[in-house]
């Protein structure tokens, strides 16, 4: 397929490379030219000047952007995807945005003859690089079928969850489960350190039982060696948790554990850690422990 990618950040750049490796012809645009763009172009992609230029050149456009306003601007702006795209275009937003925004964009796109899918992903930078993302898709069933070759290049699983916005709602559920699990891993890591447990041994032991999780096996070692390099940044996790808490309020669902984790991440942000990886949640607990020792 001729596939466009708008947004070449931590996730978008490796996703574009995986589309190239799968044999697709890839056209890209990013607001921030630099090494990632250069690497994707060197791998065979064509760079153009606007999202509309991308849409005019392809059968499907993938957007991978930070937040709802970014996606709205790129899709509906004067040089956006809908301005440049023809009827029959497939627009696949793989950002994490508000479900209500996804539903609204699907409606606006349909008026132009464009099929819009909300298809957020889970797996972080590691999954984007390896092509092992889990893809959660809302929107038209025929659009989901058309997008299958794209999803096959980017992930190991793509699940159609229902109509517009349901992919985003599923991603918010994912973020709630993931963030609360990460907090448990951070607490366990701090407790294990204070108890003098062998760092590798306790993760291996706990990871073989009922508390096993990706967060444990991947993030506890990073916490222990104090590697806070972002696979997914704290500030973006906070954006996702704000969306989840807002959706929960609208649905009348209590999320007390999620609200607590949101506040812990706020402490990391307040200490200047917004651009760190989410495993830096440990540092908020460390500061609380230090205060208790004082």
Which position among 36, 103, 146, 171 bears the catalytic label? 171
CA atoms within 13 A on the CB side of 270: 8
Which stretches within 131-255 are classed as H helix? 141-146, 148-154, 166-195, 199-207, 214, 220-224, 234-251
d(C-alpha 193, C-alpha 205), whole Å: 15
CB 63 within 8 A of CB 93: yes
In terms of Cα–Cα distance, which of 153, 166, 52, 178 is closest to 120? Answer: 166
3-state DSSP of 80-104 = CHHHHCCCCCEEEECCCCCHHHHHH
For residue 239, indicate whether it is catalytic: no
CB 55 within 8 A of CB 61: yes
d(C-alpha 154, C-alpha 129), whole Å: 9
CA angle 219, 284, 69 (to 5 degrees): 80
User: 84 exposed, middle or buried (CB, 10 Å; 0-12, 13-18, 19+)?
Assistant: buried
Is 134 strand, coil or helix? strand
Q: Which residues are catalytic, by number?
A: 171
């Amino acid at each position: 397929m001729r596939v466009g990618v708008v947004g070449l950040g931590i996730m978008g750049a490796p996703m574009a490379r995986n589309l190239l490796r799968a044999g697709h012809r890839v056209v890209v645009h990013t607001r921030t030219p630099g090494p990632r763009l250069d690497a994707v172009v060197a791998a065979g992609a064509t760079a153009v000047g606007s999202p509309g230029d991308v849409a005019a050149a392809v059968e499907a456009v993938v957007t991978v952007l930070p937040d709802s306003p970014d996606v709205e601007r790129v899709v509906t702006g004067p040089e956006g995807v809908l301005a440049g795209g023809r009827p029959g275009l497939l627009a696949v937003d793989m950002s994490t945005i508000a479900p209500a925004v996804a539903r609204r964009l699907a409606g606006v796109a349909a008026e132009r003859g464009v099929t819009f899918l909300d298809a957020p992903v889970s797996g972080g930078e590691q999954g984007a690089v390896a092509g092992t993302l889990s893809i959660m898709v809302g929107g038209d069933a025929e659009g989901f079928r058309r997008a299958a070759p794209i999803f096959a290049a980017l992930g190991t699983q793509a699940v159609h969850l229902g109509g517009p916005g349901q992919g985003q709602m599923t991603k918010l559920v994912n973020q709630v489960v993931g963030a609360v699990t990460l907090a448990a891993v951070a607490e366990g890591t701090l407790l294990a350190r204070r108890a003098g447990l062998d760092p590798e041994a306790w993760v291996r032991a706990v990871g073989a039982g009922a508390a096993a999780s990706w967060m444990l096996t991947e993030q506890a070692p990073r916490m222990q060696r104090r590697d806070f390099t972002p696979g997914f940044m704290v500030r973006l996790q906070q954006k996702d948790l704000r969306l989840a808490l807002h959706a929960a309020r609208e649905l009348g669902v209590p999320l007390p554990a999620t609200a607590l984790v949101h506040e812990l991440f706020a402490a990391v942000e307040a200490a200047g850690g917004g651009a760190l990886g989410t495993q830096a949640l440990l540092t908020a607990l460390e500061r609380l422990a230090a205060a208790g020792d004082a």
